[in-house]
Amino acid sequence: VDPDKAIYTVVIAGVWQSSGFVMALFLAGLRGIDDSIIKAAQVDGASLPVIYWRIIIPSLRPVFFGVLLVLSHIAIKSVDLVMALTGGGPGTASDVPAIFMYQFAFTRGQLGLGAASAMMMLMTIVAVLVPLMYMETRSAKRG
C-alpha cells in the first residue's frame, strides 16, 4: 500500500461520516420551499431544469451556507478521524493542520507553535467565512 494514499482513506471516511447530516439539512431545506411557487412555474411552462435553476437552488442558499459553515468546522477539527484511522501516520502522509497543531502543542511540548498554528487555522476560517456571511446577509436584505 502506498503511504501517500492514506489521506484519501481519511477523506472518504469523512465524506461518508458527514453525508447523512448534509442530506438531512438539504431535505429540511427542500421541505421548506413552498409547493405553490413550483406549481405556478409549471403552469407558466417552465421546464424542470429551469425550475431547479431559478427557484429551488436560490431558495436553498441559506442551507448551502449552513452546510458550508458546518463542513468547514468539521474539516478543521478532523484530528479525531485521522487519529482513529491512521494514528497520524504513516510518516506525514495523513497530516492535516489539526494534527500539526496537536503534535506541536501536546506531543513535542512547543505550546507556542501549537497555539500559533491554531490561530492561523482560526484566521483562515474567519477570512473565508466573514466575506461569505457578509454577502449572504447583504443578499438577504435585498430580497
pLDDT above 90: residue 45 = yes
The pLDDT mean for the chain works out to 87
Over range 67-75, report the average pLDDT. Answer: 85
| For the chain, domain boundaries | 3-142
Confidence of residue 16 (pLDDT cuts 50, 70, 90): very high
Determine the pLDDT at residue 36: 93
Determine the pLDDT at residue 1: 53
Phi-psi region of 91 (alpha: psi -120 to 50; beta: other; left: phi over 0): left
Q: What share of residues in the chain are helix, strand, coil (percent, to 5)? A: 80, 0, 20
The domain made up of 3-142 has a fold known as: MetI-like fold (1.10.3720)
